[in-house]
Every structure is written in C-alpha cells, then in structure tokens.
Structure 1
Amino acid sequence: MTILRAVFLLAVSAPALLAQRARARELGVAPGVFAPGRHNAITDVAGVRVGQVTLTQGDNVRTGVTAILPHAGNLYRDRVPAALHVGNGFGKLLGVTQLRELGELESPILLTCTLCVWKAADAMVEHLLAAPDMQQVRSINVVVGETNDGGLNDIRARPVTADAVRRALTEATDGPVAEGSVGAGTGTVAFGWKGGIGTSSRVLPTRFGGYTIGVLVQSNFGGILQVLGAPVGRELDQYAFRGASNGGADDGDGSIMIVVATDAPLSDRNLERLASRAMLGVSRTGSSASNGSGDYVLAFSTAAEVRRAWDAPRLSTTEIANEQMSALFQAVVEATEEAILNSLFMATTVTGNGRTIEAIPLDRLREVLRRYGVTPP
C-alpha cells in the first residue's frame, strides 16, 4: 500500500472515528475565565494558517507533518518577531539560535518526528527557495520542531517525504484545525494514552486590548494527568511512577512542542515572556517536565505594527507596554492547558510498529469529572 493510498483510507474512516471523540468543551471542561475564538484554534489569530499531512503506511509508519504559517505572504521578506522558551532542552529543535539572536521568524514552523527533522528542513528550504522572489537568496533560517514517535512509528525509516512537507505548506488553511492522531501527532503518546495535535484560543475583552492568543501543541509527554484538578491519571490507573514501588520504569519522559500566536503587538522580549507562561499550562495538566522531556515554546506576533521587512534600514515599531501583559499571560496559560486536553480527548487509538496505544476512554473520563465536581452530576 502506498503512503498516498494509506492517507486516503485514513481520511475516509476518520469521520466515523472522530464522531466517537470530543473536544474538552464538549465534555464540559473549559479552563480559565477568557472566551475562545470562533474555531477555538490557533487559526483564530488572523492570518495564521495550519497545514497537516498524515503518513500511515503498512504496519509500521505512523507519523506526519504539521505546518504553522504566521501569515500568507513571504515570511523571509516580511518577518514576524518571535521568541523561544525552553522548559526542558531534551530535543532537536532546528533553527532557534538565529531566532533567539535576531528575535524574528523568517520561515513557517514545521513539526514532525525526531529523526525526520533534517529531511523536513531540507524539503522546506527547497520549497521556499523555489519561489520567484527568492532566486537571489543565499541564506535562510528554517525552524523545525519534533517529538519522538518511535513507539508507534518506524522512526529509523525517516518516512517524511519532501512531498508531504510541500503539501503541508501549500495546503495550509485558516479554518478549523484537525486534532488528535493527525499530522505530526499521528504517532505520539501523552500520559500513557494516545496524544497528538491539539489547539485552543482566547480572545481578550476590549478593556484588556481585545487581542487574540492561539496555541497549537504536539503532545508526546508524560506525568500524572489532571483535568481542572480532577486526578484523572490516578483514577484511571494510568500515570508516571505508578510502578515506583516495584521497580517500574515510567518516569513521565516524552516531549511537547508548543506554538503560540498572537495579534498583540509584542517585541521578541515580551514574546519570550509570553512563551514562558505557556509552561504553566503544561504543568496544570500534570507534567513535571521530566529529564527526558523536550519542552519547547515558540511564540510569534502577527501584528502589522511589529512586522520586520528583511531589507529595512531601521525598525520603528509600536508595542504594548509591560503593564498590559498580565491578561495575555493568563490567556496563554488557559489556551495551552485546553490545547493539551484537546490533543488527548480527540486522539484515536493507533496501532503501529507492533504496539497499540489506546485513546483515553471518554466514558470513564466523564465519570471521574462528575465525581470530582468538574462537570455536573
């Protein structure tokens, strides 16, 4: 079976599978105090687009690519301020030394599997340099993040292709974002259940600026799952260190990639402050950012006031003051928490590479949420 045909068959069966799943809010789980945007997704930030290609082939390939584009133009020519926060640096995040040095993003962000980072980067470079207005470019800094899906995916085969990368970039849209076992989340695992892609957004009230904050995650990490304080992991007997008394090895290792977008006019300095708060949303779900967990947050602003033309002799920007950041901090914590929960609740059971990882059972989850007063009895 070819990859293309496998992807087609997955798409055909997806509606039936997804009908059995639910986003956090459909289960009555609504973290925080701010309201989500129209799609409750990173694409609620105007101009942001997401493209995903799911690769499933035979019994062993379960991986994919997720692309996040800050705007529809040429990012190399019309750059956006950006920043990185490292929660724990056990990962292979490509392109971030220049991003940190210059405080700007000049390419889309790709997410994929660990050993596919360099293939994905090469494919994106080739695609971007082929544009008519890029013929004289001799240096470009592409950003590619990853989590390790080697449990469900034959990661050593490095199955991500240039065509998959090209499709993720060119087919990106600004509408609803597919979640769960799709794209770069096809083979990932979180809290012992099937993880994947999740997204959420928040829109601030007018008195706090009316800005939108969107978050997308690739969840592949461990810990002791809690949902709005309910000890779901313990109640469902699925959590890190569960076998500590008898020599169990599960210590919550894994990784999470987090991409934060906002239309608030922020400098790279305040974007780094915003990115750091996303880790608070991760901790709310029960992670302790273990030794083997690569926990990274990339944040960028799409605001016209802070755009950076590649050949501008000087920059003149208008950004919000430090005193106006607190509501944005709250919003990114809420959206990150909900995006992670969506990645879990929307994920479907996946078998691959000789293993099966079950989706979190929503019926049992509902019982725990009712018992602990998260949702009505």
Structure 2
Amino acid sequence: MPNTDREAGARAWELGLVRGGLAPGPLNAITDVPGIRVGHSTVHRPPEVHSGVTALVPGEVAPGRPVPAGFFSGNGYGKLIGSTQIAELGVIETPLLLTSTLSAFRVADALVSWMLERPDCRETLSLNPVVGECNDGFLSDIRSRPVGEPEVRAALEGARCGPVAEGCVGGGTGLGALGFKAGMGTASRQVTLDGQPSTVGALVQANFGGVLRVGGRSFTPADLGVGQRREPPATEDGSCVVVVATDAPLDARQLARVARRSVFALARVGAGYGHGSGDYGIALSTGDGRPGVADGSLNPLFEGVLDAVEEAVLNSLLAATTTLGVRGHVLPGLPVDRLLARVRERG
C-alpha cells in the first residue's frame, strides 16, 4: 500500500526537508564513499513475516586486510555482535550485517561460514563477525528466526556500488520509527578536510521511538491524520544502528569520535533514546593511505555526519510504505504530502 502520491523516489534533500551548507554526493548514499558496497536480502511472507538482512562490504575486508573502525554505544540495550573487539582493536575484519534481533546469531554464524570459504581465509583460526540488529517483532514473527544462511549469502553476493534501496528492504523490512513505518535509509555529504575533498556517508537501520522532528518542528501521527489498528510499542522502545563510512584517512580513535556524532544526530529527527532502545554507531574509513587528518580539522566531517544521518532517517521514512504485520499490527507509512503541507504551514 503506497503512503503518498508524491513523485516516486523523492528523498529528503530533493523535497527540501533537510538543509545545510554541505552538498550530497552523486548518489546521496553511503556508496558514494569509494570501496563501499551494499546488498539486501528480504524475507517477505505477509502478514506473518517481514524481515531480512543488509550487508555493507568495505572493499575486500578480511582478517589480513582489516579496515579502521570506531564504535559508540549511545544506549546498550541491544546485541551488536563483535562490538567489543572493534572498541578494543579499532578495526573490522568482516563485512557488517544488519538484521532482526533473534536472527542475529544465525546471521553471524552464516557470515563466519562465508568468510572461511574464501581463499584468503584458508589459514584463519579466529574471526570477529560484526552483526547489528533491530527488533522487528511488532510486524514480524520474530520467534521464527526467518533470516539464515541463504539470505546472508544473497545479501553478501549481491552487494554492489551504486544506488541503495531504502525503506522496507533487507534489515529494515519490518521496522518502524517515530510512530511510522521506517527501515533502511542512506545519505552522503561532500566535505573538505585540510584542503582535501572527502566524502562521508551514512546507512541507518531505523527502529526507534520518539516524535518525528523536521526542521526543528515536531509531527505526531495524529498531527498528520494517521491512525493504526493497534498501538505500536511504547515510544521509548526500539533500536537504531548507524553505520558511517568515509574515505578520509582517520584512525580508530577519530572514528570513535565520528561514531558518537552518528548517534547524537538521531536527536535531530526526534529520537527518544529510551530505556529499551539499542542506539549504536559504527564508523569506518576506506582512506587511501594519505597522511592523517588533524583533530582540529574534523569539524566539517562532524557536520557532514550530522547532516547525512538526519537525512538517512528521513529517507527511510519516505521510502517505507504502510505494512500490515503479524497479529493484525499495522505501521502507517509517512503521509509525505501532508507532511510537506504542514511543514510549509509552520514555516
């Protein structure tokens, strides 16, 4: 069921819902960062199952070719597999997968199997799979754990550069945020650091509570004339995993600073940061070996992270559609035309 009669594919930047002095990259997606590929695998058996997995692959990442990374937990009510080794060593050595809470462990096992089959992992005796999760149990039969090895392989092998599908797809299929149907979202910004051009991109798995904010103004479902057959989970519950990538040559400590800003950015769209919300940020660099960036020069990158994450969440809402789920639960799609009208009314 469509949620709007707006022009298909319109996103927050195009609709004027986000502002700022930094321009998006050509695709306005995390894949604007060189070396980043994204793939989705969706499990859709309505009304009982709405789930899936999303894979983010930085280059040819492997134990022998780790990628610098930083981690931040805004609220740790979640299961981000592999996070402690990221925090300790400042690298990731596998692709990063995003899925449903109770499927996370099957997904991690499948990722290990996929990695061990690679020729460059023939001698591998230890591996740190990185898997984030959000709870899609309001709309999907989460206890059936529908995401497993076939879906993981499909997402990994289908990972590509280029446009990234958003909304009800992959790890975002059964998710909702801020009272509306949400899911996967992405955006990017172009920045200049120490006179060198760089790109920063965000991929968001949006599933958190709060009240939607656009341009500093709040909009509840009731404000936009939206109802639902049953109440969604309490507004403080949910989760959000934000992945930020950049080609700026940052070290692990600096990337941890970037990861913090990715979680801070959720406040711009009205995140509640509640007791039951797992709010995580992971940042990684595909830098090409240039000299590092001084800490005092990072401000443009921080600004780009805030802008990209804000838009990525809005894009996840704009792309998602009303979904009827398990036990008659419904999450409404964001009525974009009504939102645009209300934004104009409020100046």
Measured against the shorter chain, the TM-score band is: over 0.9
The partner residue of 2:212 within 225, 231, 250 is 225
What is the 5 A alignment of 1:58-73? Answer: 58-71=46-59, 73=60
Amino acid across the alignment from 1:54: T
Which structure 2 residues correspond to residues 101-120 of structure 1 after superposition, within 5 A? 101-120=88-107
* CA pair 206-291 structure 1, distance change in 2 beyond 3 A: closer
Correspondence for 2:138 among 151, 174, 183: 151
Deviations 1:216-236 (A, max 9, x none): 000000101110112222733
Partner amino acid, structure 2, of 1:345:
L
| Counterpart AA for 2:97 | L
Matches of 1:92 and 1:333 in 2, distance apart? 24
Write the distance in 2 (CA, Å) between the matches of 1:131 and 1:370: 53
Native 8 Å contact 1:21 1:348 kept in 2: no
CA deviation profile, 1:21-52 (whole Å, cap 9, x unmatched): 63112322233210000100000000100000
The correspondence of residues 1-377 of structure 1 with structure 2, limited to 5 A, is: 20=8, 22-71=10-59, 73-205=60-192, 208-233=195-220, 235-236=223-224, 250-305=234-289, 318-353=291-326, 354-373=328-347
Deviation string 1:101-127 (CA, Å, 9 cap, x unpaired) is: 111010000000000010000001001
Seen in structure 2, the aligned counterparts of structure 1 residues 17 and 355 have a Cα distance that, compared at 3 Å, is: farther
Is contact 2:187–2:203 with CA below 8 Å preserved after alignment? Answer: yes
- Residues 251 and 357 of structure 1: is their aligned pair in 2 closer, same or farther, counting only changes over 3 Å? closer
CA–CA distance in structure 2, aligned partners of residues 93 and 261 of structure 1: 18
The one-letter amino acid of 1:302's match is T
Q: Which has the higher strand share?
A: 2
One-letter identity of the residue aligned with 1:66: T
Q: Give the SS at the match of 2:217.
A: coil
Task: Return 5+ residue gaps in structure 2 as ranges.
Answer: none
- Distance change in 2, residues 1:349/1:61 (3 Å): same
Give the count of matched residue pairs.
341
TM-score between both structures, scaled by the size of structure 2: 0.93
Partners of 2:249 and 2:312 in 1: how far apart?
23
Describe the shift of the 1:91–1:128 C-alpha distance in structure 2 as closer, same or farther (beyond 3 A): same
Radius of gyration: which is bigger? 1
Q: In structure 2, what is the equivalent of residue 4 of structure 1? A: none
Change (3 A) 1:359 1:283: same
Question: 1: CA distance between counterparts of 2:323 and 2:233?
Answer: 23
Could you tell me whether the CA contact under 8 Å between 2:5 and 2:337 is conserved in 1?
no
Q: CA 1:30/1:157 → structure 2, altered by over 3 Å: closer, same or farther?
A: same
Whole-Å Cα distance in 2 between the matches of residues 350 and 24 of structure 1?
A: 21
In 1, distance between residues paired with 2:318 and 2:170? Answer: 16
Contact 2:182–2:207 under 8 Å retained in 1: yes
- 1:10 match: none
Identity %: 46
CA distance in 2, matches of 1:177, 1:47: 14
Q: Distance in 2 between matches of 1:131 and 1:86?
A: 31
> Match for 1:198: what amino acid?
G
State whether residues 192 and 300 of structure 2, in contact with CA within 8 Å, keep that contact through their aligned partners in structure 1. no
Q: Which amino acid aligns with 2:132?
A: G
How far residue 99 of structure 1 moved from its aligned partner, in angstroms, is 1.1
Structure 1 unaligned blocks of 5 or more: 1-12, 307-317
Amino acid at match of 1:46: P
Q: Secondary structure at the match of 1:78?
A: coil
Q: 1:211 to 1:21 in 2, by over 3 A?
A: closer
User: AA paired with 1:290?
Assistant: G
1:42-77: CA deviation from partner (whole Å, max 9, x where unpaired) = 000001000001111243110000000111x24222
Q: For the structure 1 residues 17 and 159, does the alpha-carbon distance in structure 2 shift closer, same or farther, using more than 3 Å as the test?
A: farther
TM-aligned CA distance change 1:125 to 1:19, over 3 Å: farther
Tell me, in whole angstroms, the C-alpha distance in 2 between the residues paired with 1:192 and 1:325: 34
